[in-house]
Chain A
Amino acid sequence: MSTALEKLFEKTKQEKRAALIGYLPAGYPNQKSSAKIIKAMIEGGVDAIEIGFPYSDPVMDGPVIQAASEEAIKNGAGVDEVFNLLQTTAALGTPSVIMSYWSPIEKYGVANFAKKVAQMGGSGVITPDLTIEESQEWQNESTSNSINRIYVVAPSTTDQRLANVTAKCSGFIYAASLMGVTGTRDAVSGNARSLVERIRKVSDTPVAVGLGVSTKSQAQEVANYADGVIVGSAFIKIVQEHGSGRSGLKKVKQLANSLSEGVRNAS
């Protein structure tokens, strides 16, 4: 049986467009507001939600997500808040995944984590620091709970390794557009397209590009060659600047709307 996430990529393929995936750390800026922000993202046209497990040592993340994660943890976000938000989001009918560094998953128990994701209606988990060599147990448990395993690949990933890693992915493959950490950039790295092209040679799984996408034109550019566009820091920046009250939520929805036009305008 396919996950909600897999069905989404089938649908966007038929519609000849890319899927728009929005990221927010659970409990940022607090639990109640994070649910509202996600709702605003969905109302604005985000197709799938990536819920971040706020972690104390996020080495893949730039300053914006670091600060947001720190604030979320300070305000009490932990594993319960992550799963509650996952359940809330999935219940809205939006394909939802968790993005988590490996430490919290291992602490919770690999089998229990996979089971809980499935129970809460989640489609899968993005694991930015789990290498395929260390993931035998995760592969078993994610498979037996029928959830997607999403690994991140990078421009430095060799062709051989790209084949090995993408063979273990399902749902989508997370292609990091550049060598670096999360955060908005003035331009999408030119490495992104060539990475996606290299992935196409070894895998039929949909490819979503993340890192450094924040505007409509960037979303449109990426949607020209990728199946999904991932936006995180840009949403968080809005909340940092405008708060999560009515005006902040309105701006979140506007950004989602404009990005959503971007992924539909691609050729």
Chain B
Amino acid sequence: MSADKKVDELTSSVLGHFGPYGGRFVPEALIAALDELAAAHTSALSDPKFQSELAELHKTYTGRPSILTDAKRFSEHAGGARILLKREDLNHTGSHKINNVLGQALLTKRMGKKRIIAETGAGQHGVASATAAALFGLECVVYMGEADTKRQALNVARMKLLGATVVPVTQGSKTLKDAINEAMRDWVTNVSTTHYLLGTVAGPHPFPTMVRDFQRIIGVEARQQVLDLTGKLPDAVLACVGGGSNAIGIFHPFIEDSSVRLIGLEAGGKGIETGMHASTISGGKPGVLHGTRSYVLQDSDGQTVESHSISAGLDYPGVGPEHAYLNDIGRAEYRSITDDQAMYAFSLLCKSEGIIPAIETAHALAGALELGNELGKDATLLINLSGRGDKDVQTAAEYFGLPL
């Protein structure tokens, strides 16, 4: 089958299948809620009132459209390739996460539910969820691995200031994966009143499709902005991939532009060969986790293996099923970036452009350095600058040995 034909199937997926990936692997108790959510999402897509309400929020609350920055000094380190940064870091709350959260918060209202729950790793999605809950007057409970509440104490305080309840999760590895488990258990118990506001393009259908649809705005805007600025499409689009929501958001509107390479950068931690990484596609195998079939880091018994990354937001042993499929059909490429490579790119962007990126985002920047040097000065690379690095100042200071 040709790649084009397979791409067509992406948009017409039934029950959220992307080739052999996606679907629903969840307790039967959640099916009715997932069906309700899928129906709400489908009807909202074609409802002009919903769309205009969301567009208004993007414009007057988030600050969209986000701008495009021509990173000329950074480009000198990337083989002279033109580097265009899509500035999702300038959104309200500091990352792309708000795009999805506002969409799902409006759906929550549409379904008549009054309580949202969310999982968070680095705390960005938790903060965005707490923000939307405050804006819409919803009760908000955020599950966060106990280890992460310590690593990201500042974001815990932000969520509390915004009126959310933060529940530290002490089970399992006490990180994002366990926070998702605990959120699912809450949802199974309180599903009639509660919406699970999942933060990435993973989980059971309709989440991968719905979250993608809410994040597509990144790529839709960026595609036009690049055309306006350069008169042509970029040679490649790069984004970091944990669960993969910022990446699918910027990739998706380019899928049919077959000349544009789509490159996802996964967290390589200490290096795939060490086993201490979060490169799910590059270093994992197909399996089932958190309600969906995709690439997973797991052992020979199907037990989830703990991931490792300096970036809490990429520290996840699964990945969105659409990425798994884009990888298998060869439409997107996935590379692995180590902690050290990411931190080098982090520092370089700070000093060459005056922009402190999130450490997650620094993985995409490291990929741009690598690809720019491969392609040379005639290439144009579009990078999703998915988040800002304020939350990472402590981690970065420790990494670079700066006294605090």
- B28 in the interface, Cβ–Cβ < 8 Å? yes
> In the complex the two chains form, what is the Cα distance from A158 to B188 in whole Å?
15
Residues of B within 8 A of A56 (CB): 172, 303-304
- Most chain A CB inside 10 Å of its own CB: which residue of B27, B172, B178, B288: B27
* Size band of the interface chain A makes with B: 35 or more
**Complex CA–CA separation, A246 to B279 (angstroms):** 48
Pair B27/A107 contact, Cβ less than 8 Å: no
- Residues 161-188 of chain B, each 1 if its beta carbon lies under 8 Å from chain A, else 0: 0000000000110000110010011001
Q: Kindly report which residue of chain A lies nearest to residue B302, judged by CB atoms.
A: A107
Q: Does A181 contact B (CB under 8 A)?
A: yes
Query: Within A56-80, which residues are at the interface with B (CB < 8 Å)?
Result: 56-60, 62-63, 66, 70, 73, 78-79
Which of B29-37, B340-348, B380-388 faces chain A?
A: B29-37
The answer to the question of A248 belonging to the interface, with a C-beta cut-off of 8 Å to chain B, is: no
Chain B residues with Cβ under 8 A from A181's Cβ? Answer: 185, 188-189
Q: Which residues of A contact B47 (CB under 8 A)?
A: none
Residue contact B298 to A180, C-beta cutoff 8 Å:
no
Residues of A within 8 A of B26 (CB): 59, 129, 131
CB atoms of A107 and B300 under 8 A apart: yes
B contact residues, total (Cβ < 8 Å): 37
Please count the residue pairs between chain A and chain B whose beta carbons lie under 8 angstroms apart in the complex.
Answer: 117
Contact with B along A30-69 (1 / 0, CB 8 A): 0000000000000000000000000111111011001000
Select B28's contact among A59, A73, A157, beta carbons within 8 Å. A157
Find the A residue at minimum CB distance from B288.
A103
Q: Kindly state whether residue A165 has any CB partner on chain B within 8 Å.
A: yes
Q: Which of B15, B177, B192, B288 contacts A133 (CB 8 A)?
A: B15
Q: Interface digits, B268-303 against A, CB 8 Å rule (1 contact, 0 not)? A: 000000000000000000011111010010101111
Complex contacts, B302 vs chain A, CB 8 Å? 55, 103-108
The complex places the Cα of A181 from the Cα of B27 at a distance, in Å, of 10
Given known contacts A66-B171, A131-B25, A157-B31, what 7 new A-B pairs fall within 8 Å (CB)? A57-B304, A58-B181, A108-B302, A156-B191, A156-B192, A158-B32, A165-B28
Task: Name the 3 nearest CB pairs between A and B, nearest first.
Answer: A107-B302, A154-B29, A104-B302
What are some 23 contacts across the A-B interface (CB < 8 A)?
A55-B303, A57-B181, A57-B304, A58-B181, A59-B26, A66-B172, A70-B171, A73-B303, A78-B303, A103-B287, A103-B296, A107-B298, A134-B23, A154-B28, A156-B28, A156-B30, A156-B31, A156-B32, A157-B28, A161-B31, A165-B28, A179-B188, A179-B192
Q: A: which residues have CB within 8 A of B? A: 55-60, 62-63, 66, 70, 73, 78-79, 102-108, 128-131, 133-134, 151-158, 161, 165, 176, 179-181
